Structures are given as structure tokens and as C-alpha cells.
Chains A and B, each alone.
Chain A
């Protein structure tokens, strides 16, 4: 076998790796925060009395969950300019990731809301709370605590799927790998190192969010 592995050749690109990692994590952070917000709003809308709102949310969730992320991203980046909405690659990537995660978050949080016993809301009502505090202070925190592990799993999936944003020239971790292997022709070593970085990021992200969850929900997360 004539091939010799040379991982040392990658050391000089350390700065690029760090920058790419920062972009990947930044996109994930934006998508997670806004996506979870969409999830809460959407899940609340599923229980609304307005049929058109329920149908709209259901259509959104099904459309996103049954089409590939890469096609959604291409649609936002290449397709929207036809409607006069021109997005930078970074904005299109952030938008696609947020909208994607939002649909999954609605499903997850909706399941959490369904799991809360009606007595919780009724008890809060009998204490004189209005509809908004009942939802925001009583029902939602319990629902979020119950489905938090599923939400963390989905956020990790979004982070891993974001590797695809390199295809519209967002300079994320994968794009950095593409760039480096085009310079040093050590494609296998480069992609192997980046895969390991993704693996560590996934493990670290899960740990971090589990830790944050213990603080957020004060021991309620199982």
C-alpha cells in the first residue's frame, strides 16, 4: 500500500477549524433558540379554537417533516430571490435550520402539552389565573421539562444536519474541510478529523444542554 497518512499536515489550519466550528455552533444556537420559540407558539396554536390556525400549523409541520433539509435550504437560497427576497448564504442557512427545527419542535412540545393532566390547568384556573399565566406558568414548564430530552436530541440532529449548509457556500466546519482538502489533497485525513470534531461537538452539546436543563427545570428533567 502506497498511501501514508499525514495528520500533521492539518495542524497549520487550526484557525480555520476553529472558525468553522464557531459558525456551525452559532447557526445551531440561533436555530435552537428561535426554533424552540416557534415550537412553543406552534404547539399552543394546535390547541387553539381557530380551525384555520390549526390547519396552517399542521400543514407547516407536515411539509417540513416530509421533505429533505437540503431541498428546503436550496429553496430558500435559490428559490426565494425569484420572489424578490434575496438572502445571504448565512441568512438562508439560518432561516432553513430554524424553520426545520421549528416544525420538529412543534411536534415534540405538542406531545408534551398533551401529556399534562387537565387537572393542572383546572387547578390554576380555580386559583384565579388567566389563560396566559395558566399556559406560561403552569402547563408549559411541566410540558417542556417532560420533553426536554427529545428537544435536546432534535437540536443535536439539527447541528449534524447543518453540515449541508456548506453546499451554499456558508463557511461552516464542513466548508472548511472542503477548502483544506482542496489545498493539501489530504481529503481522507481532513474529513476524518472534521468527523471527529462533529462527534465531539454532538457529545458536548448533549452534555451541555442536559446540564442546562437540570438548572432550568430544577430537578424536573428525568
Chain B
């Protein structure tokens, strides 16, 4: 049997880091795209649509991510779609992050004083132009710090993808533990790697928040 040195463990864990980052990036980009659409239709004047968007957000925030993963992983095959761990984790985390980002961004838009809507409307701008030219540029400044903060939550959430068999950092740690019987070292190192990814984001988010507070 091969002996695993500490360097072997660390090296294998480092190989897994890009997969955690990639899954986070896909979920963030996909989620951001879906959230933007939901934001635009959810702020419109159509009441049933507004309520539907609110329910969508509430549903994802009030059920465990693990259940959402299982439903996608076991549910899609019933519709005849073959689900790989990639597809399940990617699509599920995309929907999950879209719900949270919709919530964060809607909060920023709602913090814009009503006069901005009324003023731009009196200039003859229609809904989409109001959003694009007046509201969103102002709301974006407010939305950036909590969005970066959510990124931390998203990176941590990708650890659950290990349960449906997606090979990222946590899954690799479990495999390594089974091979080496050194759970203390391995899970300690994994926690440290997550920390090295997340802590700079936390600091960045906090810095942006302070910057914003000074401007107002």
C-alpha cells in the first residue's frame, strides 16, 4: 500500500479547489442572470407576477438546500432527463443563488427613493428605460457589498454538492479520509482552504460596505 505524505494530501486537496471555484462561478453567473430577469419582471406593475417572484424567493430561502439538490437529482430523471452530478449541482445552485440574489437586489432597488421613479417617469421614460438609466445605476452601488457577502455563502453551499457525488473540495476530503485515515488533518486542511477562499471575500464585502457608508 502507498503511504500518503502530508504533501500528497495537500496536493490532492489543491487539485479539487478549482472545481469548487468553478461550481461557485457557474452558480453565481447563472443565478445572477436569472435573478436579473426575476428582478425586472418582479418590480413591474403586474401583481400576480410580483407575488410569484416573492413566493419563488421564499420557497428557496425556507427549504434546505440539500432537499433542493435531492429533488433535482432524483426528480429530473422522472422527466426523462439523465442527471449527472454536474447538472444537478450546477442547476440547483443556480436556482438557489438566483433566489437569494433576487432578494438582495430587490432590497437595493426598493431603497431608492420614490422620487427617482416619479422624476424619471415625468421625463417620459418607460419602465425599462427608468430601470436601466436611473434606478439600476444607483441601486447597483448599494447592492455590491451584500452581493459579495452572498458569494461567501455560495462558496460554502457548494460543499453540499459533494453529497450527490460532485467531486469538489469536500468530496475529495472524504475520499482522502477513506484512503489515509487522517480525518483530523484532512478536514482541518479543507476548512483552512475554504477559509482562504472565503475570508478575503468577507473582508472585501466589509470594506465596500464601509466605503458606501462614508459616501452617504
Contact = CB atoms under 8 A, between A and B. Distances in A.
B159 A68 contact: yes
Interface string A42-63: 0000000000000000000011
B163 A66 contact: no
Contacts of A192: 71, 75
A164 B199 CA distance: 23
Contacts of A191: 67, 70-71, 74-75
A188 B74 contact: yes
B152 A71 contact: no
A167 B163 contact: yes
A70 B65 CA distance: 12
B156 A69 contact: yes
B148 to A, nearest CB: 13
Contact of B190 (A71, A82, A83, A195): A71
B41 to A, nearest CB: 24
B138 interface: no
Interface stretch (B26-34, B139-147, B180-188): B180-188
Interface in B54-106: 59, 62-68, 70-71, 74-75, 78-80
B194 A66 contact: yes
A114 interface: no
Interface of B: 59, 62-68, 70-71, 74-75, 78-80, 152, 156-157, 159-160, 162-163, 170, 173-174, 177, 182-184, 186-188, 190-191, 194-195, 198-199, 202
Across the A-B interface, the 4 shortest Cβ-Cβ residue pairs: A78-B183, A163-B64, A68-B159, A66-B198
